Each structure stands twice: as C-alpha cells, then as structure tokens.
Structure 1
Amino acid sequence: MEPIVHKASLHATQPAAVKTDPSMSTEPKETIKGDGESSLPERNKGQPLNSANPVAMDDLEATPNAYEQADTPPDQETDYESSDSSVGQGFNNIRLPYVGMGGGFDIYRAAIRLGTDKVTKFTTRQIGTDNQKQFIPINGRELLLYQSEKRVGVDLQAFVCLNRMKSPTQGSWRLEMRLLFDARSDSILLLNANKHMPVSRQDIFVNELTASPAKPPIAVELHQSLALRAVSHRIVWLGEHIFDIDVFPRRYLSLRTPNYEPVKTGAKRAFEPSSSSPRAGPSTAKRARAETSDGLTARTTIYTMPPTSEFCAESCDTAEQSSVADLCHPLESLHLGSVIHVANGNREGDYSLVYKAPVFDNGKSLVFQAHHTKLGKLTVVKLHRNNVDLEDDYAAQEHWAVTHHWLREVNYHGRVGQHPNIASLVGYDARFLTLYVEHIEAPSLHLYRQCGTNAYCTMTTRDAEKVFSRLIDAINFIHLHDIIHNDIRPANILYTRERGPVLIDFGCAASESVVHTGGTRWYIPPEFMTGGTRGRPGDIFALGVVMLFLLGEMPLPETQSPQLVWEPRLLRQSSPEGRKARQTMSAWMEIVESASETLERNWVDDRLEETIMLAVTGMVAMEADTRITGRKIQEDLMTSMFG
C-alpha cells in the first residue's frame, strides 16, 4: 500500500472498510462575533461543527432563501446522462446551459466522475442565495458543478455500499464534504464534513493526478480542508475510489479593451503557510505546487482607459475580450479608470465595473464607487475580504466564516432595502463576495460637526427632527422583519434635506434570536454589559445616542477627548481586561445619562418638540425593559402631528 500524507501529522495509514451505523451528534448554537464573522462558542478549531455546516446558519432559516435541513425533500430531480468522452475536453467553451438546478445559464467550475459502482446515491446542495438540493441517479456517471453570482459552493454526499449482500440503505456509509469557491484564486476548498462517521473512518484521501506517481495522497481529517487547484484530483475514502474531480480556472472574468494598452498584469498569488502558526500544515517543500502551463491556466490583465459613457454603453459582443483570473482578488487591484468585465453563462447577465473612487477600507472590507454597466448607474461596491491562507488546515472554516457573513448581509439587507430611508441593495455577486448598493450623493451625519476634538453637531434642530422621525420609521420597518441592525451610528446614516436620512451598512445585522457582539462601542446598549442581550431595545438606544449628538447635548462620541475606549468582546469576560472594559463602559453610560438629563432640564418648547425630547430621553434609559419602544415613539409622533 502506498504511503499516506496527513495534512496535520504527515503520517497515517489508510483505514480499512468497516460497516457501522453512523452516529449522530448535537448541534452547537451560533453567536456572531464583533467583526461580523460567525463563531461557535465553546468550540476550538478542529472540534465538531453543525452537521456539514462549518458554521450554523440558524439566523438564515426564517427566510425562503435559508439553507435547508438535511432531511428536506429535493426541489427537483435531474437525470445526468453518462458520458464516455473526456471531461477535460472542450472546457474552454464556458457558455453551457445550466442543467438541473434552477434553470438559467451559469459557468462551470468543476466536473465530477464517479469512480466506483459502490456509490448507491449521490446528492448535492448548492450553497448561496438560491440553495437547492438534488439527487443524482447512479446511472449518471458525470456531474458538472456550476458557479454564478448566487452561489458560493456546494455540499456533497455520497452513499457507498461496501456489502452488496445487504440493501443499499443498510450497508451504506455516507461520505460528506463541502466545496467552497475561492474568490481570490482558481482553487476550490474541500472541507471534510464526515462527522457522522467513527473517528477511524473519517479521513478523506486526495491525490493530485498531475503529480508524480511517487507522491503519496494527502489525508484530510475531519473539519480540515485542502485547496484543490485547477487540475484533476482523485478522492479515495474507505479504500474506495469514490470520484475524480477536475477543477477548472475561473473563466467568468474578462476585460473589454477597445485599443487600450495593459498597465498591470497579475499572476496567481502563492500562499505560504506561516512558520510560526501552530496550525501550519505540511512544509512548503511538501505542499509546493507549480503553476500549470497548459490552456487551463489563466492570468489577469487590467486595462486603464478614460471612463467615458460611450465605453460603458458599448456592447460586450463587439468589445475585445481578455482573460482574467488570479490576482489576490481581482477587484482589490482596480484603480481610477480600471474596467473589469464579468461574464455570466448568458450574454444578458454580463456586466462591467468601471472604478470611480475609493470610499472605505478597514482591512476586512473594501468599499468603492463604480459604474455598473448592467444597472446603468453609479453604485457602491462593498467587498468582503477573505484573507485566508489556503495552505492552512482549517482554511475552509475560516473561508466559510467570511462567506457566511456575506450571505447574512445579502439576506438581511435585501429584505429591507425597499424602504425609502434605507439604501437599496441593487445587486450582489457571490464570486467576489460583493454587494452592489445604491449610490447616494450625501454626507454621513458624522460630518455635520465642528472641527477638532469634542466636536459638536452643526445641524439645525429642524434637520435633527427630520432625521429622527424618518429613521424611527426605518428602524421599525427593520424590526418588523425580525432583523436587528446592531450598528446604528452617525457614520452609517447619510443625510441631505432633499432625500432625508438614509440608513446604510448591514454588516452587523442579525436576527432577533442571535446576540451580536459587534457594532461601535459608544452605541452598544448597557444591557449587553449586564445581561448579554441587545435586540430591538439595543437599536433604539443607539439611535438615542445619535440624537443626543444631533441635538447638541454631547460631542460626537468618536471625537471625545479624553476618549473612553473598550473592547465590546471583553464585556462578558471575568478577566481583569473584562472588568476594566465594564468600568470604562459604565463611565460612558454616566456621560449618556448626564446628556439626557441636560436635554430634559433645558428643554424649550419653541426649540424642540416635546414629543421628540421625551422620546430621546426614553430611548437612552439604562434598563431595557423601561426603554421606550419604536412603536410607542411612532404612535406619539402621529398623535402630536394629528391630535
């Protein structure tokens, strides 16, 4: 038997086939970390996860686009005809009809060929905004995996019958894995999700078919992952050749280049595992993989040109096309005037982005303005960064945390973006983990302030009242959809007198059943410190703090001097750092209470409506159960207006 390479230990033996009944395990409960990523409390990397889901998706289950449970009936069944032709032939012709999972036209990224007749059933479930499950009949020996702007990956299950004397149900073992498309490279991440198997039968063995015959297979242990680069791979489990998978380069990126010279060319980034990382995988020498030189390898060429309307309106059928593939992330390298063309399975879905101006970059997300040719207007592009080392044994788990964050934001923002005081989500693309948001030519509220530290608001009282009445309606609308924004602050509210206030950024949004530990510290409610809760009262408290700034009762919290700073994630800890964080937050709450008392004490009827004054003081009440509700505020406003 040929030697085996384990990703973690670099030594193992391939298990023999043993028949037992798969065991079930409990599902951990999800919390949301401060940076918007998902985490599982009381679980370190390498411990069990929620079924085949590396991260629970409970907060998505309330919507039609929720990730379905494993026992959900399939949306549709599709027969795949067996094929004797080589799967690798003709794959540069990317525009093929999308088969079997929802219709339309998508672009394929991989082909799977079953390698044994012992596979009795094969199921897949698309992961994205249009999740669907399907059963693949065994007479279909070949399956194409597609990628589109709606899909981030696929879950696979193969039922392997090792004893033909028994029925397929009684004698079958279930192989489970997740495949995730990487936004920065041509690789597909394979995650071992074999949690229902005994420990000795969980490992999946992967051979790169283009590698030297002497190179041993790599063993991928439970909850570990392996980056499958754009070549052919063989999957072996329980001593059986389950299937081969051919991974193809991304062919959905190109540049329309009418007589312009390239100014930048990028090639695939090499991901080197950190030598200091305690979870680093095999050595660079063992894991190094040379780039292929055949036609499957694509490169990136970005062209700079004047962003004229004539170019934006040009048909992609007449524009010259150039292949685009591996940068660290294609959109991260765009600059003023750069144009990137994104192809879909049908020409009608193609679009281009013409880079206009940067907006924001905090390391985890990148925001910039771009002209979207399909939408025909300027949009705000928000990119979720995925800075995962693909050579890391747990890269897929970290990759999924970022992807799940993106899915959650698309889900929540899309459900409430139709409100006039909420920026509309006009599109998204799972291939880049981007959201395309309505562009609004308006400054945010934190810019309506004096210069320097302890900067007070320069907005008029009438403008502040307009912000208040419109935003209360928007927040109530969000809450009616069982969504909590969790990051209401001046920087996330745009304002002009013509448009009124517009709420943006749903990166911290969560369902009411999920407690989010993120947001901006000065707007987090006190009950999070004392009881670990937030919910609707938390959004109301945050807007109350915003109003104290707009009404001139306190400077913009971000500009206070000396500044009170603490880490919200430490508030629930019993460590010395946690105690210090609670002391600092308590000092801040005293400032909020003092500003509220000053507003009530100095209230003048002709300066501010009494209804708004009482509402604001009630919004920053220190006890959540005594805090005024959004519905009560709206009722009081209607009463004051119409009697």
Structure 2
Amino acid sequence: MVEYRAEPVEASEERTEPISQSEMDIFIRSMGMEEQPDPPPSDYQVPLHLLKVEDRHREEGIRLIFRPLTKISPRAVSPGGSNCQWLALRAEVASTEQPEHKVLAVTQTSKDIKFGVRIPRETNDGGAPRPTLWCELYYDPASDSVVFLNKSEDPIQLVLVSQTYLASPPANEGHTVNPGFPYELRPGTWRIKVRHVAVLDFRVLEKRPVTVYERQPSDSRELVLSSPSSSSDQINANIKRPRTPDRDNMRIKRRISDGVNKTDDSAIEFMRPGAADSLVFSLPNTRQTKVLTSNASHPLLDAENGETIAVSGVCELDEYHITPQDPIASTAQSKVYRGRHSQVPDNIVTVKVLKTRMAKPGEKAFVNERNLIRQAQMWERESQTQEGLNHGSIVKYYGGDARFLSLYMEHVDAQDLTAGPRWRSVSNDEFQGNREDAKRILLNIGEALSYLHARHVVHNDIKPANILYSPERGAVLCDFGLSTGTAKEPSTGGTPYYVPPEFIVNKSRGPPADVWALGVTMLYVLRKIPLPDSRRHVKVLYWQIAGIHNPNMPFRKYGNGQGAASQMKEWLRRVHETREKLSPQDRLERIVSEMLAPQPSQRITMAKIVQSLNGGQASLAA
C-alpha cells in the first residue's frame, strides 16, 4: 500500500450530523431499497467492471455504480441524496439466461457536486464489528475523475480492482487515504477496505461527451423552446420563439434517446409523460464543429466566443444551450462572461464558472484535489444562498449547474466600482463618481445587506469589485461565493483590506463585519482614500487573512515582509486616522464613521443606515 501524508482538507460547512431514522425511512421508501435482498457473498458476485453499462444508462447521466461487499441491511446505506436507483445489470458476456446483478446506480444531476456514502458501525453475528465507513466523492467538472474524501475516523484502503481508462494506475494498485484526506480516482472499479475489511465496491464511469456548435454568421435565429401543439403560449412567453422549418442551414447528426422524436433537421420533439402535447426544442442554426471529451476539457471554459455548447440533461426538459459572448473577468479561481442561455428570459445572462486546476510540478501533494473540493463547496454555498433571494439591489439568480460549477445570473448593464476609467481613475486610483453616486451606492447596498442580514446571511466579501453601479440602475450587489449563515464558522476568505478588527481578536465575522467592509468601501467612494486593493497599497501592505492566526504561514513575499497580524494592524491604524477626519456635521460622513466603529457592538446596523438615509422611514424595498 502507498500511504500519503499531506495537509487535510478544510472542514466543510455543510450538514454533518447523522441522518435521523425518519429521514432515512422516507429516503429508503422513495428508492424501494427495503425490498432489495441482501447481496450474496462476494465470491458469487460478478465484478462491477464486467457488468454491461448500456448507452441509455450513460444518457441518463449515471456516473457511479455501488455494491456492498458485506452482508448489511439496506438501512445501513446512506447515499445522501435521491439521485440513485437500484439497477439490474448483466455481465458483458452473459447469456440471457444468466441472472442479473443488482447495483446502486448514482446519477449526477445539475444540483450534485458530490455523492456521499455512510455505513455505520455494526457487529456481525459471531464476528468482529464492522468499522464505520464515511466517504464523499466529488465530481471533477474538467475530467472524468472523482475526488475521494475520507470522512471516517479510520484510514481507508482503496484498491483498483480493474481499469477502464488508459491513464489509470495498474490494477490491484492500492492507496491508503487517511482521515480528512482526499485522493483523485480515475474511471475504473475500486474497492474500499476499512481495517482490512472489504466493505464496498464502486465503479467510476466516464461522462458523456459534450457537443459544441458554431453558429452560422448569416443567421441570427435564437435558441428556442416552444410548445406548438398546446395552447400554453403564455407559459414562458418571454423565451419562446417560433419553430422554423428551414433545413438547409442545419447539417448535424445527433443521437436521440428513447422517447424523443426528431421532427425535422432544426428541432427535437420531446414527448412529455402523460401529456398529449409535446415540447419542441429547436437546435441552434449551427454546424457541429467539435465534440469535447470529458477526459481533459471543460466546455464552458474551453469553448470560443460565439460557439454554442449543447448541455444534456438527466431528463430532456433539463437540457439547455449556452453561447459564450463577451468576456467580463477572469482570475485563477473563476471566469465570468456574458452569454446566451436558451431557457432564461431574454436569453442574456452573466455566466460565472469556478475553475479547478491541475497540480503543477513541485507543488505539494493533493493541491488539485483540495482546490476542487473548496471550489465545489463554494459553488454550493453561492448557489444555495442566492436561490431564494429576491431584491432589486441583489443580482438575480437564474440557476446553476454542478456538472460545470457554473452559475447563471442576471446580466446587469453596469461596471463594478473598480472599473477604470468609468469609476476609478487610472492615474491615482480614486473614485470618479460624485456625492449623489456615493449616497445612492450606500443606500442601495445598505438595503441589500439589511435584506440579507434579516435572513441570517452574511456576505463576507463586501468590496468595490463586488458592487455593480450605474446611475440608471443603481448599485447591485454580486458574488456570494463566500457567504455564510450567521451561525456558521467565520470565513477566512476575501480581501484583507475589508476584514474588521474583531477578526484579529477572535476570528469574528458576522453582520457587523459586512457593515465594516462597506464602511471601508465608502471611504473610497467618498474619495477619502484610493482604492484599497490597488497596486499602490499591495506594494506596501498586503497579507493573507488566514495568516492572521497562523504564524507558520509564509508572508515574506507579501507587502512589507512583516507578519499578517502586524500588517493588518498598520492598515487598521490608517483607517482609524481617516475616520477621525470625517465630519460629524455631514450626515453621509457621520454614517460612515459609525460604520467604522472599532467595537462591533457599537457599530451601526444596516437597517439603521437605511432608515437614516430614508429620512427616518424604514425601507420597503425588496
């Protein structure tokens, strides 16, 4: 066995308490698991890699196949979602007379970033107790791999029983994954052992290839959804377009799954179960240019501007098309661009794709795996936080796709407060707006944060770059990748200049931290300081937030070379000096001064800020 030792993965902020018996009973009944017989002894089982997985199974989005190797009650299996089903498969070379083998097939939907298995400790009759198994498998959006995360208290042995992938390790190669550590698994059949007891076999399947189309420049027709045989023209009227019978502009071959009728060369008709009418999903007026295998590509990142990505769904109605257009921003962590989405009003959206990266030579072990897990958890936080929000000063969220770690949001026709030369002077990094702009920004973002805090949500990343503004629309808050609930552990992410002083003392970051961060932002908007995260400041002061309470974190390459806590205290001293110069007779400056009170208990709340700016009346904006 090969044993790896590296830094464990940071703890997830998701729910980790045991599933209640009532929840498990409901889940088991929904899957029909209580009717499944106990698996036969492993000596009589056909290995998972010899079971035939048909094309229709891949069309359904099945990514994993599981089978217990010990005699356990179905109630002991906790898949952690409703995206699985019992599947009867035959061996590749089996005759029709040979028995089928039941396995648990797991489908990756647009909502699933991972799949978890938890088998509790149990004592077998007359034998040694079976150890607890708890693991999670995170899907990699840029490859066919999954990242295995050991959440058990014991080391887990992974043995590659077979390989179905050219780059996989040799069969029977083993790896020991310590508690809290990840390991990347390529497609193939793997066996899980805990304390040398074989507990579970699972098979990782390859993803479906993704087809990319190139739009014909002579045609400007939209991607459409329509329902020609029903009278529901009012449903989704803002995204429907008429079918077009023109066949000459379409030259494409496409596999059609069961239950789908091809009506002509420019549309596919989906028959809805139990309904007399059908949905016609018009293909783009394009020609097929390439098929991206999931081996080492990410369609939403690799496609060129103007190309159309055909995204398949677990069910036909979940399918959609994305056409990247104008780039907006790109960092090591994400890419943001304007695009067209076939199922969004007016089609125009802002697409945000979280990046996962491969480890470079010389980097520490498991850099890629840890980054993938963090990015997946960030996608989950951002999508779940934004899903229920409805406020005019918060960017509208249309949905996301876990298979690509993508988020689809309202496209706001405005630039963020760091955009030069519109809002930031390229010569001195000062804000270019006027006092009316400053008041509007504070009121709009104050209303947005008051709305969030009333719902027990902390944004954790308030800064000029996350505020879009135009005089016509007003200020709009975006980027919820670091948001948390008020009861959650404080985040160590973000930009250091906007972190409140209480973080140094006790790592505290709650609603008052958002108030502080907006206060620092307003010092920039009122032209009291240049943009804090401009290169002028980075050359003099810069630190990592996580380094405040971790003296072992390297810091010499940042700022003035001193420790993170020392540099943060110097920055807070400068903020305090600027705050002292604000005029108490000026209402706007007085509010900003109250936002920058050193003690969070003395800091003004967002609700009071909004009330003050509205002349004493509470805001009704929502």
Could you say whether these structures have the same fold, taking a TM-score greater than 0.5 normalized by the shorter chain as the test?
A: yes
Q: 1:558 is aligned with what amino acid? A: D
Q: 2:83 touches 2:106 (CA, 8 Å); kept in 1? A: no
In the alignment, structure 2 segments of 5+ residues that lack a partner are 40-44, 89-99, 225-265, 270-281
CA–CA distance in structure 1, aligned partners of residues 498 and 385 of structure 2: 21
Q: 1:399 aligns with which of 355, 372, 390?
A: 372
Give the aligned partner of residue 203 of structure 2.
246
Aligned partner of 2:2 in structure 1 is: 6
**Match of residue 480 from structure 1:** 454
* Amino acid in the other structure paired with 2:223: C
Q: Work out whether 1:93 is the aligned partner of 2:56.
A: yes
Q: Which residue of 2 aligns with 1:325?
A: 293
3-state DSSP class of the match of 1:184? coil
Query: Structure 1 residue 335: deviation in Å?
Result: 1.8
AA matched with 2:64:
A
Structure-1 separation of matches of 2:616 and 2:63: 60
Kindly indicate whether the alpha-carbon contact (under 8 Å) linking 1:358 and 1:369 is maintained by their aligned counterparts in 2.
yes
Checking the alignment, whether the CA contact within 8 Å between 1:120 and 1:161 is kept in structure 2 is: no
Cα distance in 2 between the residues matched to 1:307 and 1:233: 51
Q: 1:76 aligns with which of 10, 13, 27?
A: 27
- CA pair 215-407 structure 1, distance change in 2 beyond 3 A: closer
Does residue 1:446 correspond to 2:418, yes or no?
yes
Distance in 2 between residues matched to 1:226 and 1:351, nearest whole Å: 32
| Contact 1:453 1:561 (8 Å CA) reproduced | no
Please say if 1:613 is aligned against 2:589: yes
| 3-state SS of 1:476 partner | helix
Q: Equivalent residue of 1:571, what SS?
A: helix
Residues 629, 360 of structure 1: alpha-carbon distance in 2 compared, 3 angstrom cutoff: same
- Are 1:221 and 2:221 matched, yes or no? no
Q: Distance in 2 between matches of 1:213 and 1:525?
A: 48
SS at match of 1:142: strand
The change in CA–CA distance for 1:566 and 1:252 in structure 2 (over 3 A counts) is same
One-letter code aligned to 1:190: F
Residues in 2 aligned to 1:216 and 1:532: alpha-carbon distance in whole angstroms: 46
1:234-267, CA deviations, whole angstroms, 9 ceiling, x for partnerless residues? 5556666655433322116333x4xxxxxxxxxx
Superposition deviation, residue 363 in structure 1 = 0.7
Contact 1:485/1:506, CA 8 A, preserved across alignment: yes
The higher relative CO (CA closer than 8 Å, separation ≥ 6) is in 1
Cα 1:123–1:171 shift into 2, 3 Å: closer
Secondary structure of the 2:335 match is strand
Aligned to 1:298: none
Measured after TM superposition, the shift of residue 600 of structure 1 is 0.2
| Equivalent position of 1:571 in the other structure | 548
Partner residue of 1:142? 103
Q: What is the CA deviation profile of residues 45-96 of structure 1, one whole-angstrom value per residue up to 9, with x for unaligned ones?
A: 25xxxxxxx65444x45xxxxx663445324212256899997435212477
Q: How far apart are residue 505 of structure 1 and its match?
A: 0.8
Q: Please say if 1:384 is aligned against 2:384.
A: no
Asked whether 1:357 is paired with 2:326, we answer yes
Structure 2 residue 493 is the aligned partner of structure 1 residue 535:
no
2:519 maps to 544
Compute the displacement of 1:472 (Å): 1.0
Q: 1:305 to 1:593 in 2, by over 3 A?
A: farther
Q: Could you tell me whether the CA contact under 8 Å between 2:150 and 2:182 is conserved in 1?
A: yes
Asked whether 1:505 is paired with 2:479, we answer: yes
- Tell me, in whole angstroms, the C-alpha distance in 1 between the residues paired with 2:441 and 2:342: 33
Measured after TM superposition, the shift of residue 634 of structure 1 is 2.7
Q: Secondary structure at the match of 1:458?
A: coil
TM-score, L = length of structure 2: 0.72
Q: Percent identity?
A: 24
Task: Name the amino acid aligned to 1:570.
Answer: G
CA contact (8 A) 2:305 2:326 kept: yes
Deviations 1:494-542 (A, max 9, x none): 1122211100111222232422222222222222234432322221122
Preserved contact between residue 156 and residue 176 of structure 1 (Cα < 8 Å): yes
Q: CA RMSD in A?
A: 3.9
Q: For residue 190 of structure 1, report the CA deviation from its aligned partner.
A: 3.2
TM-score (norm 1): 0.70
Q: 1:109 to 1:593 in 2, by over 3 A?
A: same
- Does the 8 Å contact 1:571/1:579 carry over to 2? no
Distance in 1, matches of 2:137 and 2:474, equals 44
Distance apart, 1:375 and its partner CA: 1.5
Does residue 408 of structure 1 match 2:357? no
CA distance in 2, matches of 1:444, 1:370: 18
Using a 3 Å threshold, how does the CA distance of structure 1 residues 234 and 446 change in structure 2: closer, same or farther? closer
Flag structure 1 segments of 5+ consecutive residues without an equivalent.
10-43, 47-53, 62-66, 97-105, 258-302, 604-609
- Sort the Cα spacing of 1:45 and 1:521 in 2 relative to 1 into closer, same or farther, 3 A: closer
For residue 628 of structure 1, the aligned residue among 601, 604, 608 is 604
Contact 1:122-1:136 within 8 A present in 2 as well: no
Shift of 1:427: 0.9
Which amino acid letter does the alignment assign opposite residue 148 of structure 1? T
How far is the alpha carbon of 1:482 from its aligned partner?
1.6
Work out the CA distance in 2 between the residues paired with 1:528 and 1:451: 31
Distance in 2 between the 1:580 and 1:620 partners?
24
Report deviation, 1:598: 3.4
Q: Superposition pairs for residues 102-121 of structure 1, below 5 Å?
A: 107-115=61-69, 118-121=71-74
CA drift of 1:583 comes to: 4.2
Taking a change above 3 Å as real, the CA distance of residues 453 and 557 of structure 1, as seen in their structure-2 partners, is farther
Give the SS at the match of 1:556.
Answer: coil
Q: Give 3-state SS (helix, strand or coil) of 2:578's partner.
A: helix
Verify the 8 A CA contact 1:124 1:155 in the aligned structure 2: no
Q: Structure 1 residue 343 and structure 2 residue 312: aligned?
A: yes
The residue type paired with residue 18 of structure 2 is Q
Say which SS state the counterpart of residue 93 (structure 1) adopts.
helix
Amino acid paired to 1:527: E
Q: Any idea what SS the aligned residue of 1:547 has?
A: helix
Cα distance, 1:352 vs. partner?
1.1
3-state DSSP of counterpart to 2:221: helix
The worse-fitting range, judged by mean Cα deviation, of 478-487 and 559-568 is 559-568
SS of the residue 2:223 aligns to: helix
Once residues 574 and 248 of structure 1 are traced to their aligned partners in structure 2, the CA distance between those partners, rounded to angstroms, is 43
For 2:493 and 2:120, locate their aligned partners in 1 and report how far apart those are by CA, in whole Å.
41
Is the Cα–Cα contact under 8 Å of residues 6 and 220 in structure 1 kept in the other structure? yes
The separation in 2 between residues aligned to 1:194 and 1:346, in whole angstroms, is 34
Q: 2:115 is matched by which residue type in structure 1?
A: V
The corresponding residue for 1:191 is 149
Partner of 2:336: 367
List per-residue Cα deviations over 1:406-428 (Å, max 9, x = no partner): 21122223243x11100012110
CA displacement, residues 419-454 of structure 1 (integer Å, 9 cap, x when unaligned): 110001211011111111211111112234453343
CA contact (8 A) 1:124 1:135 kept: no
Q: Corresponding residue for 1:457?
A: 431
Q: Which amino acid aligns with 2:32?
A: D
Amino acid at match of 1:147: Q
CA contact (8 A) 1:206 1:236 kept: no
SS in 2 for 1:76: helix
Residue deviations 1:92-135, cap 9 Å, x none? 12477xxxxxxxxx52112234455x3444655556xxx45999
Match of 1:153 among 89, 114, 134: 114
Aligned partners of 2:462 and 2:498 also within 8 Å: yes
Q: Equivalent residue of 1:519, what SS?
A: coil
Query: What's the CA shift for 1:176?
Result: 3.3
